[in-house]
Amino acid sequence: MTGASSGIGAATARRLAAEGYEVVAAARRRERLDELAASVPAISAVTLDVTSAESVAELAASLDDVAVLVNNAGGALGVEPIERADPADWRQMYETNVIGVLRVTQALLPALERGAGGHIVVTGSIAGHLVYEGGAGYTAAKHGATAVVETLRLELNGRPVRVTEVAPGMVHTEEFSLVRLRGDQTAADRVYEGVKNPLTADDIADCIAFAVTRPAHVNIDLLVVKPLAQAAPYKVARS
Ligand code: 8X3
């Protein structure tokens, strides 16, 4: 489980532990992971930077059989229109959301094939399937992640590894919008203002748990999940 220190990643680590999995929670921020691991005996913490080949290789070397890999690390940076966007932000989003999936998937594939059969889950986004103004850097990266998932399923056909994308819309987590809006808490709060029941990290953990707990011959390709109040990235009912 990458990106496990907060939000969807932490919720999914907890949920999969409750489903009986031994969960390796991996992320950059070790303190947060240690807290998570201390609160749930079936979770262990590993420091991981998905943008570092060495860090990913270290993770792979520490694992034996792996039943499920959840590629969850990623996120958005900035809401500028293309005419003002910073290429460095785009590069970073591509590095985490796309190359990160590539690196960790490559490194863990042998371990996923060693056991009874593996499952690769990618936390995508509706941004991987639609575009919206101010979102091009993120939508380009998430479209990239979707392309990786779809290609991987073709390339692994005939091998015992399932491939699933879970693509959430508006999920109210502590950090997603805060990071995207560069630490501006007021702007981050505005994203969810007046929205009745945005999704929670637990809602997405529930979808991931559903996909991975189907029988081994059942491959859920894609789950697109939005709150009832959201019909499109830019079409959100607010009171
Ligand atoms: C997050 C969903 O609508 O901000 O991945 O692109 S959205």
Helices (H) and strands (E) in the chain — how many of each?
9, 8
Ligand 1: residue whose CA is nearest its atom 2: 169
Q: Is 169 in the pocket of ligand 1 (CB under 6 A)?
A: yes
**21 tagged catalytic:** no
Q: Does the beta carbon of 7 sit less than 6 angstroms from any atom of ligand 1?
A: no
Å from CA of 130 to ligand 1 middle? 10
Q: How far is the CA of 223 from the centre of ligand 1 (A)?
A: 14
**Which domains are delineated in the chain?**
7-228 (3.40.50.720)
pTM exceeds 0.95: yes
- Give 10-residue mean pLDDT values along the chain (239 residues): 97 98 97 97 98 98 96 98 98 98 98 93 98 98 98 98 98 97 97 98 98 98 98 97
Cα 38 to Cα 88: distance, rounded to the nearest angstrom = 36
User: For residue 100, which amino acid is it?
Assistant: G
- In the DSSP assignment, the letter for residue 97 is I
